[in-house]
Each structure stands twice: as structure tokens, then as C-alpha cells.
Amino acid sequence: MLLALLLSPRPNLAEDAVPGGKTISGAERDRWFEEDRKRQKGVTGLSAAVVQRKRDPLLKNEAVSRGKLSFRKPASLRWEVESPERRIVVMDGRTVTNYYPKRKEAERRDMQDDFASSATLGLFESGISSSLPELERRFQVDLSRSDNEVVLRLIPRSKMLSRVIASIRIHQDPVEGSPRRIVVEGARGDRTETTFSGVTLNPEFPPDTFSLRLGPEVRVTETGGPERNRVDGP
């Protein structure tokens, strides 16, 4: 959903700076993180309209998808893509399922074998509610403020993660702390930008929001875990 990547030169990270932004450092940065961590403790979920734009150096055109995102702690995420093709993505912390209603096809993968999905869910799960020292163990952390938003930039310290991700920028509402935009720069020059609108914190979700019941007419391919490459369906 938010992440997908592998190998190639890292982009020029200096270009990631927020235009006209002011770097937040020292005691002011520590205070901002502590206040935001406390604020996010009360957030158990969110819903939002989402527009995602993907650029890949191997592809000529930018891929744009639109839909609705629902997230609830712990580890429950649903993304309903309306265009260009209807698709429902559900993550439950153990598996990620991609369902294509028009094709009557679905793919279910073990999240232990899907690094990008695991990283995506982990990002939503912890957000920046981690303490600053904990966050800095995993990332180089830069914080800046422009006229109407605060931008957190994370550069992975892990060699494994840095093979996939060059940087993550999280653009936030300066008052509520809710996400407005997440930009993931891939290590091979690709880029995924996810923009959120109509963000609702702690919404009431229908009971079946994070479950996906597939009828017998749906061809399901399962990969990863103990039952690799199994295909169910008519």
C-alpha cells in the first residue's frame, strides 16, 4: 500500500527539505515529540479518503489510485481502492489479502514474507507515538515546520530497511497531529506519495470492516507461511 521497492542509487535527500520550513531541534524538538506522543496515545484508529501516486523509474507514467482507508489498533487495516480498478486490501497482522471483485480473484500472503506490508502496518500501528530515543534507534530523525504543517523525515539506520527505503516523510496537521501526506522514497529511485483527506480519528467502524469473507466463486492464491503456493477456487 505505502511501500514497495529494491536497489538503485538513493535519491538526493537534500531535495526532501520542506520549502520555507524551519528546522526544529534541541529542547523544542524533544518537547514536540513528547506532546505528540501523549496526544497519539488516545488515538485508536482513523479513517480517511486516500489518493496514492506511485512513480517508478522503470515505468513511463505515474500510477494513481483513489480509495478509502480504515485503520484500527491493534494491527487492523483496510484499504478500498475505487480506481483505476476496484480492489480491497485487508491486513490483520498475520496476513495481507488483496481481493479483486471484478476478476473474482484474491491473493493472500503471510505478512512475515511481505516486508513492505509489514512495514506499512507497523508505521500505522506505532506512528510516531514511540519515544524519540526509540525512534532514533531505528531512524535518523529530522523535524521541520512550515506555515501550516509539521514534517517528520525518517532515514532508516538498518541496512535491511535501507535496501528498500531511502526516506519516509510524514506531513502532519500541526494541531491534531493527524497525517496529511506520507512520502516514501524508494532506494531504487521510486516514490510513493499518499495523501489523506477527511481524516476522522477514532471513528465507529462497522463490525465487518476488518474481515474479508470470500465466496466459493473467488479463486484464492495463498503464498508464504506453512501452505505456500496453494490455490483454492472453482
Provide the 8-state DSSP code for 7: -
Q: By mean pLDDT, which of 28-37, 93-102, 114-123, 198-207 is the weakest?
A: 114-123
Is 3 part of a structural domain of the chain?
A: no
pLDDT value at residue 107 = 94
Q: What is the per-residue pLDDT for 11?
A: 31
For residue 14, pLDDT over 60 is answered with: no
- Residue 7 belongs to some domain of the structure: no
Q: Residue 198 burial by CB count (10 A; 0-12/13-18/19+): exposed, middle or buried?
A: exposed
Asked whether residue 226 is domain-assigned, the answer is yes
Is residue 190 in some structural domain? yes
Count up the domains in the chain and report the number.
1
Residue 148, domain member (yes or no): yes
Q: By mean pLDDT, which of 6-20, 32-46, 74-88, 187-201 is the weakest?
A: 6-20
Other Cβ atoms closer than 10 A to 18: 18
Residue 11 covered by a domain:
no
- In this structure, of 68-72, 129-133, 194-198, the range with the lowest mean pLDDT score is 129-133
Q: For 9, which DSSP code?
A: P
Output the domain CATH number for residue 187.
2.50.20.10
Q: What residue has cell string 514536540?
A: 32
Please, which residues bridge with residue 55 across strands?
Answer: 191
Range of the domain at 135: 21-232
Residue 184 lies in a domain: yes
pLDDT tens readout for residues 98-142: 999 999 999 998 877 655 565 665 666 655 455 678 788 889 989
DSSP conformation class of 15: G
CA–chain centroid gap for 105, Å, is 24
78 is a domain residue: yes
Vertex 199: Cα angle to 183 and 83 (nearest 5): 65
